[in-house]
């Protein structure tokens, strides 16, 4: 499921915040980009539209949260819906990446937002697992 060459945006979807990371198919290095804090769905997609327009990604990667045993949790379906919305609104190929272990790698100080770092981990995992 390799994408054509170019920029890839990755999203760590959350109800309050969406972490965003960027990378490209040449360097295959993920980099934290930004955190979207918009309170409404329309506001979130307005911010995402700016990112899509600016970076022109060939692929979007969305982290898919699961329980440790692989079972779906309350966020699994929401993340799938978000990935479908990205694909539908922007006509960009979208893949889901199992993020079960990415958040365990990150430990946040109280009050520190790590959503963009989580997105970078998700994207790096995609690069590492995709030939």
Tens of pLDDT, residue by residue over 15-31, are 999 999 999 999 999 99
Number of domains in the chain: 1
Q: What average pLDDT does the chain have?
A: 89
- Residue 16 in domain: yes
CATH of the domain at 74: 3.30.420.140
End-to-end CA separation in angstroms for the chain: 9
- Secondary structure E strands in the chain: 7-13, 18-24, 31-36, 59-64, 93-98
The dihedral built from the CA positions of residue 96, 102, 103 and 108, taken in this order, carries a sign that is negative
The number of angstroms, rounded, from the C-alpha of 69 to the middle of its chain's C-alpha atoms is 22
The DSSP bridge partners found for residue 61 are 10, 95
- Residue 104 in domain: yes
pTM for this prediction: 0.89
- Residue 1 in domain: no
What is the domain range of residue 80? Answer: 7-129
Return the CA Rg of the chain.
14
- Residue 23 in domain: yes
């Amino acid at each position: 499921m390799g994408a054509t060459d170019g920029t890839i945006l990755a999203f760590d979807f959350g109800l309050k915040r969406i972490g965003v990371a960027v990378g490209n198919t040449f360097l295959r290095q993920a980099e934290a980009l930004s955190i979207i804090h918009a309170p409404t769905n329309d506001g979130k997609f307005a911010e995402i539209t700016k990112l899509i327009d600016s970076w022109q990604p060939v692929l979007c990667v969305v982290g898919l949260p699961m329980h440790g045993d692989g079972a779906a949790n309350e966020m699994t379906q929401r993340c799938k819906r978000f990935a479908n919305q990205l694909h539908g609104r922007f006509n960009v190929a979208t893949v889901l990446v199992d993020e079960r272990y990415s958040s365990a790698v990150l430990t946040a100080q109280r009050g520190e937002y790590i959503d963009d770092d989580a997105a970078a981990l998700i994207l790096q995992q995609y690069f590492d697992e995709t030939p």
